[in-house]
Amino acid sequence: MKNIVILAIILISTFSYAQSDKRDTKFVYGEKGLEPRHFTVDIKGVDRKELLSKAIDWFNEKYGYSKSHHDKTGKTGKTETGKTGKILSDNDIYEDDDYEEDEIDLSGKAKKSEKLRFYGFTDNAICFGAGDNYSCEGLEYIIELRFRDGDYRFKPLKLTYRTATSKNKQTISLKKHKFHSKDGKIKEGYEKVSSQIEAFLNSLNKSILNYLTDKEQEDER
């Protein structure tokens, strides 16, 4: 009987640990905005500097740089597929940034990490409107990647677009749904935007993950 009780305790503990260690790796854009605000993906056995180096190679390939542009030049690349990108300065701060203290390891020290922030533009990424007002617009985005030994964090910092009838950029809030009316319903003509945002960000992360793990690349569009 004692052995059965001990076995039950072990199984419950293992299950609880497995549940607490489970991480969201898909974005959902709903009434409360983007959830989760970021997520972490495990890549066991790869140190942070190698992850950073491979991520820069991914960026160079995705946004039209040659292999020689492996450093943070700050220059803008452009591909024939309507994508433009730029690696940003470490000092750039954005209004949607959330302050977060460094995570602490078991020794009481902050875990060492490397960061890569980049700007990107993809044409015809979101479509909305009805009838004669229906249009597809390019999406501008700022993404932060943080690398630690064995994992990376994917965090969207800013999403914007510009319509043909407006000179000003429209910001897609990450903290609340931009396309809900005051009665809580999604505005007419914007019903598909949430799924388009989700699909775009999730596919972009998948592209990065595939590159970091040497899997075949897929286009995020």
CATH number of the domain to which 136 belongs: 3.30.530
Rounded distance, CA 78 to CA 52, Å? 21
Provide the residue-wise pLDDT of the chain in tens; the chain has 221 residues: 555 544 444 444 443 333 334 455 799 999 889 999 999 999 999 999 999 999 999 999 998 754 433 344 444 444 444 568 899 976 655 544 454 545 555 554 567 899 999 999 999 999 998 888 899 999 999 999 999 999 999 999 999 998 777 778 999 999 988 888 778 788 889 999 999 999 999 999 999 999 999 986 555 44
Please report the pLDDT score of residue 99 as a whole number. 43
3-state SS, 15-34, equals HHHHHHHCCCCCCEEECCEE
Q: What angle do CA 198, 200, 202 make, to 5 degrees?
A: 65
Q: Taking Cα atoms as reference points, which of 85, 157, 162 lies closest to residue 126?
A: 162
Tell me whether residue 1 is in a domain: no
What integer pLDDT is reported at residue 155 of this predicted model? 97
The total domain count for the chain is 1
Kindly list the distances between the CA atom of residue 17 and the CA atoms of 22, 106, 132, 149, 160, in Å, as whole numbers in the listed order.
9, 17, 54, 21, 39
Task: Examine residue 163 and state whether it is found in any structural domain, yes or no.
Answer: yes
2 is a domain residue: no
77 within a domain of the structure (yes/no)? yes
Q: How far apart are CA 211 and CA 60, in angstroms?
A: 12
Phi, then psi, of 16 in degrees rounded to 5? -65, -40
* Predicted local distance difference test score (pLDDT) of residue 8: 47
Neighbours of 49 (CB within 10 A): 12
Please classify residue 41 by burial: count the beta carbons closer than 10 Å to its beta carbon, then call 0-12 exposed, 13-18 middle and 19+ buried: middle
* Contact between 86 and 118 (Cβ < 8 Å): yes
In this predicted structure, what is the pLDDT of residue 41?
A: 97
Domain presence at residue 19 = no
Q: Are 178 and 197 in contact (CB under 8 A)?
A: no
**pLDDT recorded at residue 160:** 95
Domain that holds residue 164: 27-212
Q: What is the DSSP code string of 17-86?
A: HHHHH----S-EEETTEEESS-EEEE-TT--HHHHHHHHHHHHHHHTT--TT--S----EEE-TTSEEEE
Please report the pLDDT score of residue 40 as a whole number: 96
pLDDT at 177: 85
Kindly report, residue by residue over 97-151, the tens digit of the pLDDT.
454 545 555 554 567 899 999 999 999 999 998 888 899 999 999 999 999 999 9
Residue 129 lies in a domain: yes
Residue 167 located in a structural domain: yes
Task: Provide φ and ψ at 141, rounded to 5°.
Answer: -145, 150
